[in-house]
Chain A
Amino acid sequence: MTKRSRMMGAGLILLLLGLVLSACGAAPVAQNWPGLTVDGDTVYAITGAPQEVYILDAETGAVKGNFLPTGLGDSRSAVNYWSPVTVGGNLAFVGFFQDRSEANGLYAFDPETGQQQWRVAADGTGILSAPAYADGAVYFGTTGSKVYAVDVESNSVKPGWPFEAESAVWASPVVADGRAYVASMDHYLYCLDAETGEEIWKVELGGALAEQPLLVDGILYAGAFDGRVHAVKADSGELVEGFNFQAGNWIWSTPLMVDGQLFVTALDGSLYALDPGTGNVLAPYPYNSGEIGGGKDVINANPVQAGDNIVIATEKGYVIAVKDGQRGCSWPSGTPQSPIYTTPVVSGDKIYVIQMSGEVYTLDATALETGVCAANVLYSLPEGD
């Protein structure tokens, strides 16, 4: 075998290798969308590269502090998940997961400075959604199929907990009236005793439940991967008879009730307004976000209310104010720079938005009425991040 032919053979192999690596570059990227929480005059944004919790002044965007688990050192990898931050009982809570890390778990930190207070390791798996704080306890689900209730004062898992579902729990529990309602990827909606963790009832819905249900007037409205919104009686777990709604793709969001209309977003890019009793779509809805920029768009962020508008954020990166089924205004006016998967937060007269890239913007909620969707940068990633 000549040197030349060996070289050619090796070259061909390298070419194939390069092709495979470039074509298959869509190898799993372990990432969740960045969390965004506003509490009073403070914004908690999961941003940076690698990500950490940034504690920002809600007015100026000035960084007041950061939170990163202590002892993590340089052993940080890009493979990590953060849950959004929840504030309650003078503490802030966040879930952290890094592939094969000893630092995984739920953290409590000082909401002003970011100083770590304590950690509960839980089962060491991912915590994707915001922990729920209620009555001195913090509730959260894990990708390891467990649901925990941690007593904040003793920072220990409450007796009787964790509860074990049949599959991962991505959604935040809804805690009300001594019960915790937990939506799971195993298709079940569970009702648990918030004190003891005992199962009160469970109901199988048609698909995976990735987001928490909406609890209104004793009815739980849960969007599922079967493209339906399921209405379940909170006291018994029975399905509400006659309620029927089917979207054009999965539903990965929590519905919103405004003035007797149930608003729901779907991965088909539409915002629907439903009759909460029957699930019938109310005209002139649905509004399809794909009308901006052409083609189709995807919405997995929850709809939020800002005045008379329902605000939605899309995968293409648009923030759209919808009123009576029509687009009032949208931002940006040009081509968006990054997708938006995180639910916008309305606080005071501002709408806070975080892009997938980690940039945080504010929109003037009062200007929506005039048909203006202009945004200011609240926090921008430093150069090089």
Chain B
Amino acid sequence: MDTALTVRSLRAYYLTRYFGITREVRAVDDITLSVMRKEIYGIAGESSCGKSTFIKTIAAAVRPPLRVLGGSIKYSFLDRDLYDLNEKALADMRWKHLSCILQGSMNVLNPVRRVRESFKDFAFPHLGLARREFFDVVNQHLGRLHLSPSVLSAFPHELSGGMRQRVAIALATVCRPEFIIADEPTTALDVVVQKDVLALILETQREIGSSMVFVTHDLTVHANISNRLGIMYAGRLVEEGPTGDILHDPIHPYTRHLVASLPRIGDLTPKKALSGAPPSLADPPSGCRFHPRCPLAMDICRQANPELTPLASGRRVACYAVGPLVKPAADSAAAPQATQADKSAAFLQ
């Protein structure tokens, strides 16, 4: 299968410096993943685990104090690394090849201008059509999302939350981009509208055949939309695999907890909540970042960081306690490096 996006050992930290004291917040720490063409890759994790930072990084929306310190991001539609592009090339690429659906659609649309102006700003330069034809295309596209052309002359506050989110989807997909990034697009919506919006996202994605990174903390949403799922914890990817496999047979202790705590109708068994709080990314725990809350923590977990290791079934997991990971001797660093090399080799195939 073709890959649409390849991210390798990406690190992005927030670096702040006040009065000579430098603080770094390791929001994205050594993430390696790839997204296939026409695939929906889900990313799940709690708040402050670095999901949004990861998205900013792959969307080239990095502003200080966030800085990308290492790694590479390659899109199939670009011949170079994302960060080798200049401003103009980035502007040409955005919306045409890579677009975003964000959480608060109120914040995406300018509140004091009509929706039409937003379409003109974002999409008009990319489609290269005359004005009349451009609006024909836009109207047709709005129709596909069950919106009437009259929303173009409305102000954002005149639309309901669900309609606004659909306008944001229309905006992101009108140029038929190869890659769409969706950051919690349904979190602010209630259940009825959520289902409709998800259906539309899926329909549109299938129709234009784009790849997608879909971020939300809600695993039930992932169950319904994502093909593959990556679980993030404290800036790192801890488990990855086909969504069904992860939900049926979670391997990592954190994923197991997430899956076990899902409420279902018809199920009254008491659900346990995870003790403790997510770690501060400014001062993450040593070794595996999950160990302070992990029921299976061992000595090795406090000292060494488990690498994300591939399993036979196409899944990857980063855990000493349950994974197939070779437990490295505390004094030699050779073993984990070997697995890293193997992993990269396996990954590139």
A, B from the same assembly: no
